[in-house]
Amino acid sequence: MDCVEIRGGKPLCGRVEIQGSKNAVLPILAACVLHEGTSRIDHCPRIQDVFDTIVILELLGCRVWWEGHCLAVDASQISQWQIPAQIAARMRSSILFLGALLGRMGKAELPYPGGCVLGARPVDLHIKAMKDLGAQVEEKEGCILAECRMPKGKEITLHFPSVGATENIILAAVRAEGVTVIKNAAREPEIGELCLFLREKGADIREFPEGRIEIIGGVRLRDSRHDLEADRIVAGTYMLAAAITGGCITINRMPENHMESVTAVFENMGIKIERIGCDVIVDGSRKRRNIGFLETAPYPGFPTDLQSPMMALLAVTEGESRIRENIFEARFKTAHQLKAMGADIELKEREAIIHGVPALHGTQVEAAELRGAAALFLAGLRAEGTTKICGCHYISRGYENICGILSDLGAEIVTVHQ
């Protein structure tokens, strides 16, 4: 999927079942290599980042197959510890194989990871943590080479609660000698889900509310089956689709317990959210209030992954709103594309000042990263006329069958092959 055309102006109505979590499944797939046996993951999303991770697993020597929406990984025959540049360059999460391969093979070689262009996103925290666990790490010619025959547990304090660095430490520590303690660990739900997946395999991991994680290494792992939690960012995106189009969408499998910061923003804007059994109904038909000020923050704060999609909604919400981006310095790239559609957005360093306009206008825009692509889809759903969005391969990295789902909800959307 390279380009799509959306004819906007239709309220979206219907029911959506939320896919399994992208941000949780990628570290879990890396964790599969730690066990000389089989892991099964239910509700695994069929998205490009998963397909690319499967390629990495197979290159390492794993056998991988689908059983419906369950993905099975047999890692008993792993023989490689190197990840080629052409596959690692496609996604940021390839860095998670650093800790996993150190734990399983005692060495790892991988290029600097790719993915979305969101700023520097350095891997220095990952490298320092591997050194703390006893690894020798060499950086040369765009490549990271790490070696440690037996990582040893240690107390590690992160100066920033990085999700990826926390995950890499957990992966390396599961098979390390002794006890590893992580202080100021990230507390995002995907961290807890990675720990749960590993505990289901027999690992001894304890989590504490203040961002402390303890791993007793060296416990023998076993075959397991894990039911992946729903994707909170995808859920938030479909909530925004209801709000921006003035529609009403029923969401099934919404991980409400991890979305309090998001639902609080919606309710403050006057968007009606009703819970009936396992369903959440988002009614965007009423007039919205502007948010005033919103800033992204590590969990449990408002997620940076929903900042760009939220900007699309605020662009057509009366009054002035301000967004401060505290996680990624280059996450306002989509603002320029929204402005081409008629949005009134002023950028000042890490802040975006948004003056709501009555309408957006269809034109041709270009997605540059995953969540920015989602924002452009939302803007196209609201805009007058036809919006052509190019660079849509980004959205396939994290959203399963989004064009089909939006069509089922009433959107006029077609794929354009170039």
Cis peptide before 300 (omega within 30 of 0): yes
| Residue 349 confidence (pLDDT) | 87
What pLDDT does 122 receive?
Answer: 66
- Parallel/antiparallel/unpaired status of strands 386-390 and 364-366: parallel
Domains of the chain: 3-19+230-416 (3.65.10.10), 22-227 (3.65.10.10)
Query: How confident is the model at residue 120, as a pLDDT?
Result: 46
For residue 142, the model assigns a pLDDT of: 80
Average pLDDT along the chain:
94
| pLDDT of amino acid 149 | 85
pTM score, whole prediction? 0.95
Are the CB atoms for 124 and 165 separated by under 8 Å? Answer: no
Report whether pLDDT(118) > 80.
no
Q: Residue 366's beta-bridge partner residues?
A: 390
pLDDT at 115 over 60: no
Task: Give me the phi and psi of 236, to 5 degrees please.
Answer: -60, -35
pLDDT, tens digit, for every residue of 198-238? 999 999 999 998 999 999 999 999 999 999 999 999 999 99
Query: What pLDDT, on a 0 to 100 scale, did the predictor assign at position 207?
Result: 97
- The answer to which of 136-145, 250-259, 261-270 has the lowest mean pLDDT is 136-145
pLDDT score for 91: 80
d(CA 149, CA 176): 10
Q: What's the length of the chain? A: 418
pLDDT tens per residue across span 164-180: 999 999 999 999 999 99
At residue 114, the pLDDT reads 57
Residue 399 region by backbone torsions, left for phi larger than 0, else alpha for psi between -120 and 50, else beta: beta
Predicted confidence (pLDDT) per residue in 338-377, tens digit: 999 999 999 998 999 999 999 999 999 999 999 999 999 9
Active site residues per annotation? 116
Q: What percent of the chain has pLDDT over 70?
A: 97
